[in-house]
Amino acid sequence: MAGYFLDGIRMSVGTLSAIPVAAPRDINRRTARVAMTVAPLAVIPLAAVAGLLGYVAMLVGLPPLVAAVLVIGAVAWGSRGMHLDGLADSADGLSASWDRTRALEVMRRGDSGPMGVATLVIMLALQIACMAVVLSHPWGGLVAGVLICVSRGALLIACASGVPAARGDGLGATVAGVVPRPIAVGVWILGAVVVSAVFLLAGRRWWQGGLAALVGVIACCVWVFHCVRRFGGITGDVLGASIEITLAVMVVVAAAG
């Protein structure tokens, strides 16, 4: 039992960040379940660095937009840009054709077309603009770090039981349907509580933190449902895109008011 749990942690940290860890000895459904379940915890080091970077940038008097670029850039760099790549590939696949096979073919190529590039630019601009507002508030670095961690809970929704894989190979096939729905719901409730508590600590409206988590998980559910309908299931690209979309929606809500 301890073996596959440790392998799951290694898989989660190694997949979601550039932190050097030993390779999992065995990747199976049990390992994947652990990896997806602990996803919000696996990125704590990365989120801590990004949040601290934002705090220091504001402390030394850098403009909020510059601080936000550093935070979002650190997250992208620290995750090897994989989630952004998944977002771009998913956008290209969705715009390529209504034919499922053709769309999956486009996503597998790895290069980015006009729709993928445009989606990346818009998504990064949205995240940076809203993160700048978040960092402008007291304890902004802490709030940013928590939002980054909780956004990784998107993987529990995308990999919840009943969600199929679009292909028979790849990351999507390994993790599709491995997370029991009660665990996915429970982790998101816990995430909402944590975000609300951090908002309260920061002197902001506690319910706004809970609302950010709620709207984030709704956006993730809509995204996964749409991809299952269009692609027949999830892929590694869909997983990466789900993280970026969830983070963007959460920072939008966090920046409001």
The residues, ordered by sequence, that sit 6+ positions from 229 with a Cβ below 8 Å of its Cβ are: none
Least confident among 43-52, 109-118, 243-252:
109-118
End-to-end CA distance of the chain: 47
Q: What is the mean pLDDT of residues 96-110?
A: 80
Q: Please, where are the H alpha helices in 111-232?
A: 114-136, 140-151, 154-158, 170-175, 181-201, 206-231
What percent of the chain shows pLDDT beyond 70? 98
Q: How far apart are CA 126 and CA 251, in angstroms?
A: 9
Cβ of 208: how many Cβ atoms within 10 Å? 17
pTM of the model: 0.94
Q: What is the mean pLDDT of residues 44-72?
A: 97
pLDDT digits (tens, 9 = 90+) for 188-208: 999 999 999 999 999 999 999
pLDDT at residue 104 in the model: 83
Identity of the amino acid at 217: V
Question: Over 80: is that where the pLDDT of 16 sits?
Answer: yes
Question: Over 80: is that where the pLDDT of 15 sits?
Answer: yes
Report domain extents, the chain: 43-255
